[in-house]
Amino acid sequence: MGMGFIDIGAERLETLHIAPERRGRTVVFLHEGLGSVAAWRDFPATLCDRLGAPGLVYSRRGHGRSSSATSARQPDYLHHEAHDVLPGLLAAFGLAAPLLVGHSDGGSIALLYAAREALDKTGRTADELDKAPAAIAVMAPHVMVEEVTLDGIRAARSAWDAGGPRGRLQSSLGELHDDATGVFLGWNDTWLAPGFSHWNIEREIERITCPVLAIQGQDDQYGTMEQLDRIARAVSGRCRLLKLPGCGHAPHRDQPAVVIDAIAQLYGEIA
């Protein structure tokens, strides 16, 4: 595995390249709102070993060891990542038709990227068509804002505010990010902003034609199964839903074996 950095426009992003010498389709990991390369722990390496595949993990700007955010996060930040940053990253590594694995915010980014790449393929060259993902696997994704989501984010803010300088949440995020406060407040303030309650990408993801695996825990404090059901109704391609009892917001940590089995099945179908 190789840790490093890559410049995408004005952004210097922390990356982890897993077994790049392996043949096969690359698995690209897109982290959650408070995530980073390190926050994935050993899941990417474990999954890639199971698949016998190369992998690419990266931290978005302001997260992990990537360059600091220089301005306040905008309501369209997920679109920016899907439409501007991710295409540049894949091009820089020369990755064609990857399998995208996204968690929470990362799941929404994967959906938006797949929708964008499915839009208006007329006139594109074969190389350009390869930018479209072969499939996407999304865990606890969001396609609209639910009240339970906002309740969970408000609870996280209360825990953050009550923790003090030695608080548990501040401490755990401090181990993962150079700017833990910026990561937390950027995520929290954006989702709790009054205008963000209308955020919805259901119409956009109707364009998706690649296979979709959507996974969510039934005890997810940030979303209900309505998120998955709306994805299944919206996308134009094949969609498999995996609803996990006894599982919270991070299926890959709560039930890794089940999640890895499901993604391995998807990978086998597109290999």
Secondary structure E strands in 33-152: 55-58, 99-103, 135-139
Q: Which helix (DSSP H) or strand (DSSP E) does residue 243 occupy?
A: strand 239-244
C-alpha of 256 from chain center: 16
CATH number for the domain running over 2-145+201-270:
3.40.50.1820
Pairing of strands 99-103, 212-217: unpaired
Q: Distance (Å, rounded) from C-alpha 86 to C-alpha 109?
A: 9
pLDDT per residue as tens, the chain (271 positions): 688 999 998 889 999 999 999 999 999 999 999 999 999 999 999 999 999 999 999 999 999 999 998 888 899 999 999 999 999 999 999 999 999 999 999 999 999 999 998 875 655 665 555 789 999 999 999 999 999 999 999 999 998 988 755 568 888 999 999 999 999 999 999 999 998 999 999 999 999 999 999 999 999 999 999 999 999 999 999 999 999 999 999 999 999 999 999 999 999 999 8
Q: Note the pTM of the prediction, 2 decimals.
A: 0.95
Of 93, 89, 86, 145, give the one whose Cα is nearest residue 114: 86
Domain ranges of the chain: 2-145+201-270
